[in-house]
Homo-oligomer: A and B are copies of this chain.
Amino acid sequence: MNYQFSDRMSQLKVSPLRENAHKNMEQKEVISFAYGYPPVDAFPMETMGEIAATMFSEFDPESFLQYGATEGYPELRRLLKKRLQLVTNIPQAGQEEVVIVSGSSQAMDLAVRVLCNEGDIVLCEEQTFSGAVNAIKGYGAIPMALPMDLEKQTIDLTVLEAMLKRDQQKRIKLLYLIPTFQNPLGTSIPFEERKKIYALAKKYQVIIFEDDPYGDLLYQGEAIPKIKTLDTEGLVIYAGSFSKILAPSCRLGFILASDPILEKLILAKQVSDSHSNFFWQVLVAEFMKHYQFEAHVASLKGLYKEKFNLMMTCLQAFKEEELSFIEPTGGYFICCKLGEEVEEERFFDYLEKQKVAIIPGNVMSVAGKGYEKSFRLNFTKPTLKEIKQGMRIIAEGLQIATYSKAM
């Protein structure tokens, strides 16, 4: 058989992240700063086990084993809206509805499906989540990189406005942003800049997809109000996830959006997979209702903050001509850049030989290039001991790969 596949598939290739993930995870001796995974002690096993036991012994099976509504378990949707209002301070959750999806990956996949024809454009931060870029390409739409102003931790607004202005045919359908604790940059767009971005979206009538899977994980400074809080016009699709605050495998995320958008998203979700797993939807709702969910999130923040502080201490010890980094205020990642004097290939080779895993900058680059000297470090998955060992190897790598020193 001479197989013929759809044109849209020719745009996609296996994510190098995924390709290596399982291979590397199996090598137990590797110290991994690579993947955006929670650590094994982040899972509230006892509470989840207790809820599951109650469900199987006391709940009506129809409530969590039968087919369910595409938009999700009503009680979870209600609790999420309440949490978005009270904890995340998004007043729009009082007026708009949420739909439960299978992780924020599916949220973006559905948004592109609903909003973009083939050949349409989605603007993204120049380095961003590769899953989102693949979702865009997967429908034949075109991801286009917005340059960043790293000093101000925001996108270049002059370029953004120029692109929107030039777009006479309205091919730009979506502005995909991770405004808080960005992946891979760790940056958070300041509130004043968020206002300017929203004003431009409003002026040019472009929808913003605010991807916020890390939003709860603030370690220092003040929380910045979400772009969604500015949304007077129903322009912002806000997506959150339980992957980073409960368990990735439960594949639960959600979208808050205006009715006309949500209606289409629900339709697309129905066609994709009918609904997300109801066992987990009910379990999470029970957790939020009866089991101190906020205390669990607070304990996660404590766990990660300790690792974050250690990372900061280690990174601050480097000279800027060796390695510079952007100090995040929360989230999962720190973006580092090798100094001019450091030969990147020798540095990365050394890490590989010493079994320290990182993500090279180009993997997260929309253009697939331009970030040869950058790399991303995750600090949630490794233990404190692994962080110390790993950072020592990174320090050695910097020594070995610095031109002046090696000669």
Interface residues of A in 1-35 (CB under 8 A from B): 1-9, 12-15, 18, 21-22, 35
In the assembled complex, A399 has its CB within 8 A of some CB on chain B: no
B1 touches A235 (CB 8 A): yes
Do residues A48 and B37 form an inter-chain contact, with CB atoms below 8 A? no
Stretch binding the partner chain, chosen from A181-189, A220-228, A261-269 = A261-269
- Please state if B67 and A14 are interface contacts (CB–CB under 8 Å): no
B residues near A117, Cβ cutoff 8 Å: 6-8
User: If the complex has contacts A15-B270, A66-B249, are A48 and B56 also in contact, measured as CB distance less than 8 A?
Assistant: yes
Most B CB atoms within 10 A — which of A52, A118, A243?
A52
Count A-side interface residues using an 8 Å CB cutoff.
Answer: 86
Q: Which residue of B lies closest to A62 (CB)?
A: B40
Using A40-B62, A65-B250, A247-B65 as known contacts, say yes or no to A106 and B205 having CB atoms under 8 A apart: no
- Contact A49-B45, Cβ < 8 Å, known A114-B6, A249-B66: no
- Report the minimal beta-carbon distance from A198 to chain B, rounded to whole angstroms: 12
With A and B bound together, what is the CA distance between A65 and B134 in angstroms?
Answer: 24
Q: Which residue, A46, A61, A117, has most C-beta atoms of chain B within 10 A? A: A61
* A residues whose Cβ falls under 8 Å from a Cβ of B: 1-9, 12-15, 18, 21-22, 35, 37-38, 40, 43, 45-46, 48-49, 52-53, 56-57, 60-62, 64-70, 102-103, 105-106, 109, 113-118, 120, 131, 134-135, 138-139, 170, 173, 205, 207, 233-235, 243, 247-251, 258, 260-261, 264, 267-268, 270-280
